[in-house]
Amino acid sequence: MNSLDGAGAPAGRQLLGAPQWYAALGWLLENAGTAEFPDAFAATIRQLVDFDFTVTFAYHGADAPVCLHHNFQPQRYHIHVSEYEIGPYLLDPFYKAAANGTRSGLFHLAEIAPDQFYKSEYYRSYYGQTGPVDEIAFFIPGNTSWAIVTSLMRSPTRPAFSKREIRLLRIVEPLIRAIAETHWRTDERLKVAGSAQDEKAVLRRTVEEALEARGIPPLTPREMEVVGLVLEGHSSESIANLLGISAGTVRIHRKNIYAKMRISSQRELFAIFMKAPVTPG
């Protein structure tokens, strides 16, 4: 018996019954509303599941996210926070889930990512630069329509989060969420409602500005939809299902888009989105 749902439930119950778990919960409650809360949150979760990195972002519509807490060293901070906030957050599956109304729960990246996400240029750029990581995230409601997302990451040298570990965290998620929600509602950075822009409009404008800066002709509305979904990591088949067209039509759109942009790869497309110098791929 080695899992939490019948097979191996004792292991999970042993962790939840340990004195250290209750001590950590007490510390978490004691620090709600203080600057120590994020560290207490991480320490509490570590009583059950270990991880290497954690970052908490607050999302409001398509506004640039607010980084509330992290434990990154400078290189990872530059990639996962500084560069991320410029615009690539629009392609992040956790951001997309928050923008589409997910307000609470625990999610594994693989559960909510597009079918080709792990082959996408976004994944290669923002995870690959420091080594691919496995990631899970707590979604916590904030003030008004803010969504707080606390991600836990494991480096590529570690095993991915197991089903048993994820089940264990889902058992305690309602309690952890209630405490965290109480804390984040006191954060002054989240008192302002923000502009609540439409995320599709922001992504479209970002691409349009990049194209205009390079003297590339504007794309049609359908081509813009396809570009956005390609950047997110959807395959032609997935895009076809989302847009209600055939996969063959999607491939024609992609061919026309690449011809207009004078590019030949998703890497070059991503470079344009990032407003970076385009080098032929």
Residue 151 has pLDDT above 60, yes or no: yes
What is the model's pTM? 0.84
Measured between alpha carbons, how far is 141 from 60 in angstroms, rounded to an integer? 11
> Could you tell me the pLDDT band of residue 196, with boundaries at 50, 70 and 90?
low
Cα–Cα distances (Å) from 2 to 13, 18, 48, 168, in that order, read 12, 18, 15, 12
Q: Count H helices, E strands: the chain?
A: 14, 5
Give every strand in the sheet of 134-141, ordered side by side.
Answer: 66-70, 53-59, 147-154, 134-141, 105-108
Instruction: Evaluate whether 239 touches 229 at the Cβ level (below 8 Å).
Output: yes
9-190 and 199-273 have identical folds: no
199-273: what fold? Answer: Arc Repressor Mutant, subunit A (1.10.10)
**pLDDT, tens digit, 9 for 90 and up, residues 84-118:** 888 888 899 999 999 888 989 999 999 999 999 98
Domain ranges of the chain: 9-190, 199-273
> Could you tell me the pLDDT band of residue 8, with boundaries at 50, 70 and 90?
very low
Residue 76 has pLDDT above 90, yes or no: no
The secondary element (H helix, E strand) that includes residue 105 is: strand 105-108
DSSP state of 92: -
How many percent of the chain have pLDDT more than 70?
Answer: 91
Burial class (CB in 10 A: 0-12, 13-18, 19+), 174: exposed
Q: What integer pLDDT is reported at residue 266 of this predicted model? A: 87
Q: What integer pLDDT is reported at residue 6 of this predicted model? A: 37
> Could you tell me the pLDDT band of residue 215, with boundaries at 50, 70 and 90?
confident
User: What's the CATH number of domain 9-190, 1.10.10.10, 3.30.450.40, 3.40.50.300, 3.30.420.40?
Assistant: 3.30.450.40
Measured between alpha carbons, how far is 89 from 122 in angstroms, rounded to an integer? 10
